[in-house]
Amino acid sequence: MKRLLVLNGPNLNLLGKREPGIYGHGTLDDAVKLARETAAEKGIEVDEYQSNHEGDLIDAIQQAEGKYEGVIFNPAAYTHTSIGLRDAISAIEVPVVEVHISNVHQRESFRHQSMLSPVCQGQIVGFGLLGYRLAALALMESFEGRR
C-alpha cells in the first residue's frame, strides 16, 4: 500500500482560529482530510504529523525515507529560515511538495524567499486548503508517471 505523509510546521495546529483573514476558517484536520480523500481515490493512504519544533520536523523528513511515496509539507515559518530542513529534504529520495495556504508573494518581503523550494519537487502557494489536495494530486501523478 502506497502512503503519503502530510507534514505541517509551527502554528498550523491553530488553523481555524489563527489569523482567519489570511488563513481562512478551515482547520488542520480539514486540510489533512482533503489530502486523505484525494489520495483515497487512488487507494493511497495518508499519515499526518504536525510539530512546532524544527528538529521534530527534521526527524519526520528523515524517517519518511523508505516509508512514504511523497511528502506534502507546509513548513510554515521555517520555510523562510531553515537550512536544517533544506538539508534533510536534500538527504532523502522521497519527493516533497511545499504547500502554503496563503500567497506568500503578496505578503511581507521576508516571506518571498523559501529556503526549501530549490530542493522540493514543486511549490503550491495561495490556494488555501485546496493546496493540500493539489499537492496530493501532483505527487500521485508524478509517481504514476514514474511507473
- Enzyme catalytic residues: 23, 100
Query: Which residues lie below 8 Å from residue 94, measured CB to CB, with a gap of 6+?
Result: 64, 65, 68, 69, 70, 71
Cβ 29 to ligand DQA shortest distance, Å: 16
Pick between residue 2 and residue 10 the one whose CB is nearest to ligand DQA. Answer: 10
> Is 2 a residue that touches ligand DQA (CB under 6 A)?
no
Pick between residue 67 and residue 110 the one whose CB is nearest to ligand DQA. Answer: 110
Question: What is the distance between the alpha carbons of residues 121 and 2, in angstroms, rounded to a whole number?
Answer: 18
Cβ 18 to ligand DQA shortest distance, Å: 8
Stretch that binds ligand DQA, among 64-72, 74-82, 113-121, 138-146 (CB under 6 A): 74-82
Among 5, 64, 104, 138, binds ligand DQA (CB under 6 A): 104
Tell me which residues touch ligand DQA (CB under 6 A): 11, 74, 76-77, 79, 100-102, 104, 111
